[in-house]
Amino acid sequence: MKYINKTNLGLLLVILIAGAGIFLLRLPNISTSYSSIINIASSLDSALLAVTILLVIFSVMFYFRNLSNEVVEEQEEKHSTVKTYNSTMTKLDNYILSAIKQGHSKEAVRDLLINSGWDEYVVDMSLRKIESKRPR
């Protein structure tokens, strides 16, 4: 349901209208002779059938192209979010390393970051990562 939009609904409507046209051409008209209906219907029916088949093919192609574009945009958005997160974590790690090198205790740096609005879990994760990389 996520990928149903106005364009795809419009294409579905075109297909339904074309299909209804073919159906109506197949109904016999009581006021005209049956043989003339068959001649008219067979020539128009073939043309409408061909047009309908082409509409269906192009509609399906267009739908899947739109679908793939939406999936690509979603993936690019996720990738951008991950890049932003990684950049933010690198800056946080660098800030913590710099503060520790200047002589501040890990607890003081942690408290300052948490009081400044950083998530406690994120700060602790960064401190653990830095601690694991430090030589003993």
What was the pLDDT predicted at 133? 78
What was the pLDDT predicted at 13? 73
CA distance 13 to 19: 10
Tens digit of pLDDT for each residue in 34-60? 555 455 556 666 667 777 777 778 777
Q: Is residue 1 part of a domain?
A: no
Give how many domains the chain has, as a whole number: 1
Q: Is residue 88 part of a domain?
A: yes
Q: Is residue 11 part of a domain?
A: yes
The boundaries of the domain holding residue 44 are 6-133
pTM: 0.44
**What is the longest distance spanned by two Cα atoms in the chain?**
102
Tens digit of pLDDT for each residue in 73-130? 788 887 777 787 788 888 999 999 999 999 999 999 999 999 999 999 989 999 998 8
What was the pLDDT predicted at 17? 72
Q: What is the DSSP track for 19-71?
A: HHHHHHHHSPPTTS-HHHHHHHHHHHHHHHHHHHHHHHHHHHHHHHHHHHHHH
Q: Is residue 55 part of a domain?
A: yes
Tens digit of pLDDT for each residue in 4-26? 666 666 766 776 776 666 666 65
